């Protein structure tokens, strides 16, 4: 059974500035500056919109034993983010993730909206792993990793806007 999650990233930055960052190719290059193995594909489907696909190769030895038990060789992890234009002070987005080594599906939605102190990104999604016996354990680990990634994303947006 998929593991669902929901969280909100609170940002003390202007809604328009955050949206501009999320739909700026330079922000994504900044965001991935420390990922030496990252292959990045960025497309702009229209004004105020952006789609990003990041593929990183990682050594499974960095993961817990339950993951290492089912992974052989280097693992490619793919992340996709898509953002639409600001419409009525909101922007919607989608994200996804998968791996070549584990039958995992990560998917969800973003909503960027204004708040009294800046803006917020509401995130909802799910993680599903199709492996008998240990799939639930790996789903829990993947959910933790996604939540950590979302938290890092908020920090990266802040760093970009205050540089």
At residue 69, the pLDDT reads 78
Rounded to whole angstroms, the Cα distance separating 24 from 2 reads 32
More confident residue, 87 or 63: 87
Confirm if 109 and 136 have CB atoms less than 8 A apart: no
pLDDT of residue 74 exceeding 90: no
- Distances 17 to 25, 92, 160 between C-alpha atoms, Å: 14, 15, 10
Q: Which of 131, 116, 135, 154 is nearest to 8 (CA)?
A: 154
pLDDT above 80 for 13: yes
Q: Is 11 helix (H, G, I), strand (E, B) or coil?
A: strand
Q: Whole-angstrom Cα distance, residue 130 to residue 144? A: 17
For 1, residues 6+ apart whose C-beta sits below 8 A from its C-beta are 136
Scanning the chain, the segments in alpha helix (DSSP H) are: 15-22, 25-31, 65-68, 135-161
Could you give the C-alpha distances from 57 to 37, 62, 159, in angstroms and in order?
6, 12, 25
What is residue 60's predicted lDDT score, i.e. its pLDDT?
A: 75
Set out the domains of the chain in order of their start, with CATH numbers. 3-161 (3.30.530.20)
Read off the pLDDT of residues 49-68 as tens digits, 9 standing for 90 and up.
Answer: 999 999 998 877 777 787 77
Which SS3 state, helix, strand or coil, does residue 118 take? strand
Q: DSSP states of 54-95 as a string?
A: EEEEE-GGGS-HHHHTT--S-EEEEEEEEE---BTTEEEEEE
| pLDDT tier for residue 1 given thresholds of 50, 70 and 90 | confident
The model's pLDDT over 109-138, given as tens digits with 9 standing for 90+, comes to 999 999 999 999 999 999 999 988 788 888
In this predicted structure, the answer to whether residue 72 has a pLDDT above a threshold of 90 is no
CA dist 72 and 157 (Å) reads 35
């Amino acid at each position: 059974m998929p593991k669902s999650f929901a969280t909100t990233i609170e940002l003390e930055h202007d809604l328009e500035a955050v949206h501009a960052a999320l739909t700026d190719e330079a922000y994504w290059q900044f965001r991935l500056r420390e990922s030496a193995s990252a292959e990045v594909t960025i497309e702009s489907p229209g004004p105020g919109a952006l789609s990003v696909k990041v593929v990183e190769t990682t050594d499974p030895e960095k993961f817990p034993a339950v993951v290492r038990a089912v992974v052989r060789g280097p693992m490619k992890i793919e992340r996709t983010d898509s953002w639409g234009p600001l419409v009525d002070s909101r922007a919607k987005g989608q994200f996804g993730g998968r791996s070549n080594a584990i039958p995992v599906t990560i998917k969800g939605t973003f909503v960027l909206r204004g708040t009294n102190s800046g803006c917020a990104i509401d995130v909802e999604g799910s993680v599903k792993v199709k492996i008998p016996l240990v799939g639930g354990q790996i789903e829990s680990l993947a959910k933790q990793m996604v939540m950590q990634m979302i938290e890092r994303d908020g920090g990266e947006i802040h760093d970009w806007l205050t540089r």
